[in-house]
């Protein structure tokens, strides 16, 4: 039987102070999303409390094969 599901995998680094460019160069991959402490949050009147670097697969649709058998 094939079942559909949605999956997302994220690797997140959150710290108070972060050099986003240095981290990106060390890891060798550009982040999916990043921000610095104090950056404004879109559509809100508050600032980000921490810096953050995120690498995400985004939401992916998967088919899972389920095999059942009776002895």
Q: What span, in angstroms and rounded, lies between the C-alpha atoms of 31 and 52?
A: 10
Q: What is the pLDDT of residue 51?
A: 97
> CA gyration radius for the chain?
19
Q: Answer whether 63's CB lies under 8 Å from 1's CB.
A: no
For residues 31 and 55, give the distance between their C-alpha atoms in angstroms, rounded to a whole number: 5
pTM (2 d.p.): 0.76
pLDDT in tens, 13-47: 999 999 999 999 999 999 999 999 999 998 999 99
The residue with tokens 């060390």 is: 26
Q: How many residues does the chain have?
A: 71
């Amino acid at each position: 039987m094939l079942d559909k599901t949605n999956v997302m995998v994220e690797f997140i680094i959150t710290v108070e102070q972060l050099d986003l460019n240095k981290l990106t160069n060390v890891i060798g991959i550009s982040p999916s999303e990043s921000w610095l402490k104090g950056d404004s949050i879109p559509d809100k009147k508050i600032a980000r409390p921490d810096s953050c670097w995120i690498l995400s697969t985004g939401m992916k649709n998967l088919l899972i094969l389920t095999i059942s058998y009776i002895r």
